[in-house]
RNA sequence: GUGGCCAUGGUGUAGUGGUUAGCACGGCAGUCUGUGGAACUGUCAGCGAGGGUUCAAAUCCCUCUGGUCACCCCA
């Protein structure tokens, strides 16, 4: 006898979106199964490539002292000045930051753990969430994932080349074709030569003050290199006439850049020399690069990086040359979706139907048998009647259904039903796993 | 941070000042208490929030919240 359980309706369960509590914060999202498919794909891909080249996975805390990033990334950068989430610890009023990027933390770890005593360079890769308080947009969230790699303690161009090569392999293995990805590269010099260049640049822009956009007038004061990045048509003429940074590099920087380009040629890595490429974080020196992709909507940057020879000193007082790269995972995902890479949920091919209390309990044992043999077995143990369970099984599109009713429990048997033919037969419990296994092979 | 567009059940939508806010998918239950795919029935669930105009607002106006696009910036 099946009796109906009285299920009382709970009016409070109805969702009140208006209450605001039931709403993700702006620019943040729940990562659901369909998203994890992509995150997993990207991370596994990175593991394969970076681990082969002896990069070690590292995961630093999401929370760090705010000053780590202020010092490391640069107080005048937008990332720090406008976009960093800062919170105050209740107890000691210490200022903490949700990490806005990965490099500063890894450098911190490198110094703190004394990793300069290991064989150099030390290679890391990481994958995790980062936070920036920006206005959300396509492929841009306030909590976003980055996948990055860093090599600390290597000043030779082979380090730059290795990072670039692996980045390229990583993208290609994810299915981005060589045709639509391209590599932009530039050198922005070092503390020896860059100030001189900036002085020249300022001098040049000052003369043409009237011909540039208001953003550039601001940039030339606050972050002069960024004028080179301006997309305003008004400025393009001025930009073209600007002194090229490469002409101002010191001999060391120039040699480094030249050697890198030669190495890239040797490795058959095509690049576009982009003398207007500058990056938004202060710590970059010498090499900067970016991997871009051209699609219907325009050009988007999938990731980028560069050399940061001064950062270890800024943060920890030890000078170690380093180079790294980071990819925007959501951007990669967005492009993968656009290119038709589809998430396919894993669905079981077999479904267990149970009728009656005894069978319901027994089901756990059957499920365990299948789990041990790594065969996915669908179930909905909360359901009481045969019909609704078969309906679920049918919707899942399973090939076989196992039916365990009161009679079968008494007999130590289980019904194996073929969903295509509708034929069914009785199988003893101890044989059911092997029987299913056999059939799934065909 | 600046500007444009947008917001109806879980999803997709109809509804341009007066509708019991309609439909489809979905969830649950049933017709059919040991047999799925179909059909039918019932049921769950909505005008993002707040304020204003009006006799009357999903509809018009304002603010906020969120989404989206461009800029800024960045991955």
pLDDT in tens, chain A (442 residues): 222 222 222 333 333 444 456 788 899 988 888 889 899 999 999 999 999 999 999 999 999 999 999 999 888 888 888 899 999 888 888 999 999 999 999 999 999 999 999 999 999 999 999 999 999 888 889 999 999 999 999 999 999 999 999 999 999 999 887 777 899 999 999 999 988 998 888 888 888 877 787 778 878 877 788 888 777 777 777 887 888 889 999 999 999 999 999 999 999 999 999 888 888 788 899 999 999 988 777 778 899 999 999 999 999 989 999 999 999 999 999 888 888 888 888 889 999 999 998 999 999 999 999 999 999 999 999 888 899 999 999 988 899 999 999 999 999 999 999 998 899 999 999 999 999 999 998 7
Q: Flag residues 417-436 of A with CB < 7 Å from strand B.
A: 417, 419-420, 422, 424
- Residue A438 CA, nucleotide B40 C1', distance (Å): 40
Q: Are A364 and A371 in contact (CB under 8 A)?
A: no
Q: Is the CB of A14 under 7 A from strand B?
A: yes
- Residue A255 φ/ψ, nearest 5 degrees: -65, -40
Give me the interface pTM, i.e. the ipTM: 0.85
A317 φψ region: left (φ > 0), alpha (ψ -120 to 50), beta (else): left
Q: Flag residues 81-120 of A with CB < 7 Å from strand B.
A: 82-83, 101
Please list the residues that pair with A289 across neighbouring strands.
Answer: A185, A305
- Residue A61 CA, nucleotide B28 C1', distance (Å): 44
Burial class (CB in 10 A: 0-12, 13-18, 19+), A209: exposed
In angstroms, the CA A313 to CA A110 distance is 12
Class of the domain covering A33-193+249-338: alpha beta
Q: Is the CB of A402 under 7 A from strand B?
A: no
Smallest CA–C1' separation from A382, nucleotide: B28
* Chain B bases near protein Cβ (<7 Å): 1-3, 9-10, 27, 29-30, 32-37, 44-50, 65-75
Check the CA dihedral A187-A191-A192-A198 and report its sign: positive
Burial class (CB in 10 A: 0-12, 13-18, 19+), A291: buried
What tokens appear for A78 in the block? Answer: 């937008």
In angstroms, the CA A6 to CA A29 distance is 36
**pLDDT on residue A21:** 62
Q: Is the CB of A303 under 7 A from strand B?
A: yes
Tell me, yes or no, if the two domains A33-193+249-338 and A350-441 fold the same way: no
- Residue A11 CA, nucleotide B56 C1', distance (Å): 30
Q: Which residue is nearest to nucleotide B32 (CA to C1')?
A: A387
Q: Flag residues 244-283 of A with CB < 7 Å from strand B.
A: 279-281
Q: Are A168 and A183 in contact (CB under 8 A)?
A: yes
**pLDDT on residue A76:** 80
Q: Are A183 and A289 in contact (CB under 8 A)?
A: yes
Q: Which residue is nearest to nucleotide B49 (CA to C1')?
A: A18
Q: Flag residues 167-226 of A with CB < 7 Å from strand B.
A: 215, 219, 226
- Residue A11 CA, nucleotide B17 C1', distance (Å): 32
Pairing of strands A122-131, A56-57: parallel
- Residue A141 CA, nucleotide B13 C1', distance (Å): 28
- Residue A352 φ/ψ, nearest 5 degrees: -100, 125
Please list the residues that pair with A88 across neighbouring strands.
Answer: A95
Exposure on the CB side of residue A271, measured as CA atoms within 13 A: 27
Q: Is the CB of A308 under 7 A from strand B?
A: no
- Residue A91 CA, nucleotide B64 C1', distance (Å): 33
pTM assigned to the model = 0.88
Smallest CA–C1' separation from A305, nucleotide: B75
- Residue A427 CA, nucleotide B28 C1', distance (Å): 33
Q: Where are the domains of chain A?
A: 33-193+249-338, 350-441
**What kind of architecture, by CATH, is found in domain A350-441?**
3-Layer(aba) Sandwich (3.40)
């Amino acid at each position: 006898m099946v009796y109906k359980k009285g299920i009382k309706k709970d009016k409070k369960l109805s969702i009140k979106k208006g209450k605001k509590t039931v709403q993700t914060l702006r620019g943040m999202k729940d990562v659901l199964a369909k998203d994890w498919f992509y995150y997993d794909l990207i991370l596994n891909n990175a593991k394969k490539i970076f681990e082969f080249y002896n990069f070690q996975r590292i995961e630093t805390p999401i929370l760090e002292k705010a000053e780590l990033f202020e010092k490391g990334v640069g107080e005048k950068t937008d990332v720090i000045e406008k976009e960093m989430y800062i919170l105050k610890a209740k107890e000691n009023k210490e200022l903490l930051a949700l990490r806005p990027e990965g490099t500063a933390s890894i450098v911190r770890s490198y110094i703190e753990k004394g990793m300069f005593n290991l064989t150099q360079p030390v290679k890391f890769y990481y994958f995790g969430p980062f936070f920036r308080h920006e206005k959300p947009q396509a492929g841009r969230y306030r909590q976003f994932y980055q996948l990055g790699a860093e090599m600390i303690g290597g000043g030779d161009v082979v380090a730059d080349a290795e990072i670039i090569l692996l980045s390229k392999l990583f993208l290609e293995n994810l299915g981005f074709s060589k045709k639509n990805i391209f590599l932009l590269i530039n050198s922005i010099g070092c503390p020896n030569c860059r100030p001189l260049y900036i002085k020249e640049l300022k001098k040049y822009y000052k003369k043409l003050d009237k011909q540039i956009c208001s953003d550039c007038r601001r940039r030339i004061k606050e972050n002069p290199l960024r004028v080179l990045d301006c997309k305003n048509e008004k400025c393009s003429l001025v930009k073209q006439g600007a002194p090229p940074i490469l002409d101002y590099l010191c001999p060391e920087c120039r040699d480094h850049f030249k050697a890198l380009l030669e190495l890239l040629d040797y490795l058959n890595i095509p690049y576009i020399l982009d003398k207007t490429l500058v990056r938004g974080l202060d710590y970059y020196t010498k090499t900067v690069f970016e991997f871009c992709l051209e699609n219907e909507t325009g050009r988007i940057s999938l990731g980028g990086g560069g050399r940061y020879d001064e950062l270890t000193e800024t943060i920890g007082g030890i000078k170690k040359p380093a180079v790294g790269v980071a990819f925007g995972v959501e951007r990669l995902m967005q492009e993968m979706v656009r290119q038709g890479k589809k998430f396919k949920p894993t669905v079981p091919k077999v479904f267990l139907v149970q009728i009656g209390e005894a069978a319901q309990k027994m089901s756990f044992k059957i499920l365990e048998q299948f789990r041990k043999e790594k065969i996915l077995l669908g179930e909905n143990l909360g359901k009481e009647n045969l019909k609704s369970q078969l309906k679920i099984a049918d919707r899942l599109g399973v090939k076989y259904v196992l039916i365990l009713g009161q009679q079968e429990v008494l007999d130590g048997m289980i019904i194996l039903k073929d969903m295509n033919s509708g034929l069914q037969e009785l199988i003893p419990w101890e044989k059911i796993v092997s029987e299913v296994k056999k059939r799934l092979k065909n």
